[in-house]
Amino acid sequence: MEKGCCSEDEMSEILKLCSPVMKYMDKHYDPYTKVVIDMDGVKVLGTELSIPRDGRPEL
């Protein structure tokens, strides 16, 4: 298997691991908050302001 590709079993395992985090996020945070899990640790990040590229007002 190529690096970065996931089998159905791997996807199922990731979903099983992440489901409690997703439920916790739903209960305690707003939709503009995300969790980043990487080799350095876990970060909870929030977006203060976001303007989508296609939604920019004309100046």
Confidence bin at 1 (pLDDT 50/70/90): very low
b vs e for 8-43, b when ≥16 Cβ sit within 10 Å of the residue's Cβ? eeeeeeeeeeeeeeeeebeeeeeeeeeeeeeeeeee
Confidence bin at 37 (pLDDT 50/70/90): very high
Cα separation, 32 vs 11, whole angstroms:
24
Report domain extents, the chain.
8-55
pLDDT for the residue numbered 45: 97
